[in-house]
Structure 1
Amino acid sequence: MRICIFGAGAIGSHFAVKLAGAGHDVSVIARGPQLEAIRTRGLTLKVGDQSWSVDLPAHSDAAEPGPQDLVIVTAKATGLAAIVDPLKPLIGPETGVVFPQNGMPWWYPLGLTDKPEPPVLPFFRLADRFLSYLAPEQIIGGSVYSANAILEPGVVQNNSPNRNQMSIDGVTPDCRFDVTGLRALLEEAGISSPTPEGGIRSVMWSKLLLNMSISGLALVTRNEASISRVDPDLKVVLRRILAEGLSISKAHGYPLDDKIDPEATIAQIPDHKPSILQDYELGRPMEIDEIIRAPQAFARAAGVDTPSLDVLGAIATRQARDRGLYTG
């Protein structure tokens, strides 16, 4: 299969190595030092004391590889507005496009007919631009569980060797891409891809609850995610935020009490610096809207009180604004 990874950052590079190693025709869209490193030395994935390297085409312009069978957009949510037009040359009438960004996704309202109406969020307007050349039936929602970090240009370290997963499904009931076949392809490449119970939005909510709570607390304390596992006071706060998140998702038609066990979740928090904290430290735009302010907006729309999330959101937003990394 011809596959293009649009955005060869930590997650994108990991997937590129796995898919190329499984024999697929993989190319990447990258920029800056990462682009030059891939062109010069290829891509390397490190897991513990093991490593795998692949040589593959790296481009700065999506017109070079042309239309693909599958595109996986691993650019961050904050970068999607800038890639709407550059993405277009990769898309043919049968191309499947996976959007596995963190937080509340731009595609959430598409085909949503049997759930409460979501609030109006600024990034939902991206749908108008993407749908100018993408049919809703080509769009595949994704949710990734995989902890990765760029060690140096061209080299990515995976910090979750026992959990590297991407759940996928069409965002509309009439998705015309073979999603079942794509799940099998990912599994063969060593990327777990279970069928999402309750649909892709249910999985998205599960991941969002972890992002807004565990990653949010890591951000405001400037610690690895595991700080909420080892600090007893933060553990109390984390439980409260998770409880509020469960109330929000339930109010919008996605009850998760039987899927998220707060105590088991806390026990499994990895020693990893979440991406929102990495962005803060590296001076990159931050996913404040998608990870923290979006669930707050959904809570207000449903009349759900979220005092702990509101405190976390105020601190996180102030941190980002003070560094010029968030202008919302």
Structure 2
Amino acid sequence: MRFLVVGAGATGGYFGARLAQAGRDVTFLVREGRAAVLRERGLRITGLGQDQRIEPQLVAAGQLGGPFDVVVVTVKAAGLPAAIADLAPAVGPDTAIIPFLNGMAHLDALTAAFGADKVLGSVVKVLATLDDDGGIRQLGPLAEWSVGELHGGPTDRVRRILAGIDVPGYTARAVPDALAAMWHKWVFIATAGVVTCLMRGPVGDVVSVPGGTEFVYAALAEAVAVSTEAGFPVPDPVTAEALAFLAQPGSAFTSSLYRDMTAGLPNEAEHILGDFARRAHVLGLEVPLLDLALMQLRVHEAGRL
């Protein structure tokens, strides 16, 4: 099974590296700047007492020589249009496309470009970030990859792919309803973005002050209501898992939106919060905390440009 990993940032680089370490046939499609770093320093995973390096197989746009079995799209939302054009030669009649992007808007773009039958649903969870020198630093032990058909239970295709991606370094599983799993993750990341961006700090600091825990619960309740109204009610265990991260005293956890904002980097506010808010309003729901966080991120982005 041949894998093409589009992008080699923190998330794509982490899972792609684990596949390569397990002997899978993995090629990374990356921009020249990232390729130069990877050629010089290798693809490195550090943190949690580890210091591992692989020499990745790299390819640039225009150099793809035929279809791959699985194309894993790991770029951020702003890079998706260019990635779709770049990866097109890698998509054949039997290729499966697995996106790592958060939210839902990317599904429309991918299915429009390649057909709904090519695209699987996926949820990845990993606490990792890129260091200043281009290495991937794992921040916590959480590392999971779930994959499934957008509608219906696991198929033979999903089971074959699961056998290929079930390698050491993370937990891989097939999910019976990938859209629901993606919505439930969206609830979590939207809530995390609201909490950490509005309060400008990690969740442990938020819940350490009077009213902080109640604020976290209120932000989560907004997001859960949207998912429920959209047809994807959030089970109690999923809500409890979210609160275990977002209302944990002493936790240094922050959202990727917050990390990008404080680093002065482009962020995915429109893709994660903007689309979520738009869907909430179409459904007739009020989401004042989410709207406020989105406005703050928009103001930050306007000042950055």
With normalisation by structure 1, the TM-score equals: 0.83
CA deviation after TM superposition for structure 1 residue 2, in Å: 1.2
Q: Which residue of 2 aligns with 1:166?
A: 145
Partner of 1:2: 2
Counterparts of 2:254 and 2:247 in 1: how far apart (Å)?
A: 16
Q: Distance in 2 between matches of 1:89 and 1:213?
A: 37
Instruction: Specify the code of the residue in structure 1 equivalent to 2:40.
Output: T
* Alignment partner, residue 284 of structure 1: 265
Cα distance in 2, alignment partners of residues 15 and 144 from structure 1:
9
1:227 offset after TM fit, Å?
A: 3.5
CA distance in 2 between counterparts of 1:159 and 1:93 reads: 38
How far apart in 2 are the matches of 1:83 and 1:279? 21
Aligned to 2:135: 155
Between the aligned partners of 1:165 and 1:175, the Cα distance in structure 2 is 17
Q: Deviations over 1:119-147 (max 9, x none)?
A: xxxxx4x35xx534x23111112111111
**RMSD of aligned residue pairs (Cα, Å):** 2.5
Aligned partner of 1:205 in structure 2 is 183
Q: For 1:9-48, what aligned pairs fall within 5 Å after superposition?
A: 9-48=9-48
1:322 maps to a residue whose letter is G
Structure 2 residue aligned with 1:235: 213
Determine helix, strand or coil for the equivalent of 2:198.
helix
Instruction: Select which of 257, 264, 285 maps to 1:304.
Output: 285
Name which of 231, 236, 251 aligns with 1:253: 231
Partner of 1:110: none
Cα 1:245–1:76 shift into 2, 3 Å: same
Which residue of structure 2 aligns with residue 190 of structure 1?
Answer: 169
Is the alpha carbon distance of 1:81 and 1:64 closer, same or farther for their aligned partners in structure 2, counting shifts above 3 Å?
A: closer
Quote the offset at 1:156 in angstroms: 0.7
CA contact (8 A) 2:151 2:179 kept: no
Which of 282, 298, 304 is the aligned partner of 1:317?
298
**Aligned positions, number:** 302
Change in CA separation of 1:321 and 1:154 when aligned onto 2, cut-off 3 Å: closer
Deviation at 1:290, TM superposition (A): 1.9
8 Å Cα contact 1:137-1:174 kept in structure 2? no
Q: Distance in 1 between matches of 2:179 and 2:104?
A: 9
Corresponding residue number in structure 2 for 1:116: none
Offset of residue 32 of structure 1 = 4.4
Deviation, 1:242, is 0.7
- Aligned to 1:181, which of 139, 143, 160? 160
Q: Is the 8 A contact 1:18 1:190 kept in 2?
A: yes
Q: Where in structure 1 do 4 or more consecutive aligned residues deviate above 6 Å?
A: 174-177
Distance across 1 between alignment mates of 2:224 and 2:159: 29
Distance 1:224 1:31, change over 3 A: farther
Aligned residue for 2:131, secondary structure, equals: strand
The share of aligned pairs that are identical, in percent, is 25
Partner of 1:113: none
CA contact (8 A) 2:216 2:247 kept: no
Structure-2 residue corresponding to 1:121? none
Identify the match of residue 141 of structure 1 among 98, 104, 121: 121
Task: Quickly say closer, same or farther: Cα 1:316–1:235, change in 2 above 3 A.
Answer: farther
The answer to whether the 8 A contact 1:39-1:57 is kept is: no
Write the distance in 2 (CA, Å) between the matches of 1:257 and 1:70.
31
CA deviation vs aligned residue, 1:276-311 (integer Å, no higher than 9, x gap): 223324443321122112221222122222222222
Could you say what secondary structure the match of 1:93 adopts? Answer: coil
**Cross-structure match for 2:55:** 55
> What TM-score, normalized to structure 2?
0.88
Q: Deviation of residue 76 (structure 1)?
A: 0.5
Deviation digits for residues 42-83 of structure 1, max 9, x if unmatched?
211113111221112122225335421111110011211222
Supply the AA of the counterpart residue of 2:64. E
Structure 2 stretches of 5 or more lacking a match?
none
Distance 1:17 1:218, change over 3 A: same
- For the 8 Å contact 1:184–1:193, the answer to whether it is kept is no
SS in 2 for 1:106: helix
* Post-superposition offset of 1:174: 9.7
Point out the structure with the larger helix share: 2
Question: Given the alignment of the two structures, is residue 85 of structure 1 paired with residue 64 of structure 2, yes or no?
Answer: no
SS of the residue corresponding to residue 161 of structure 2 reads: helix
Classify 1:131/1:177 alpha carbon distance in 2 versus 1 (closer, same or farther; 3 Å): farther
Q: Is the 8 A contact 1:215 1:225 kept in 2?
A: no
Distance 1:294 1:53 in 2: 37
Deviations 1:67-118 (A, max 9, x none): 21111110011211222211111111111111110223322xxxxxxxxxxx
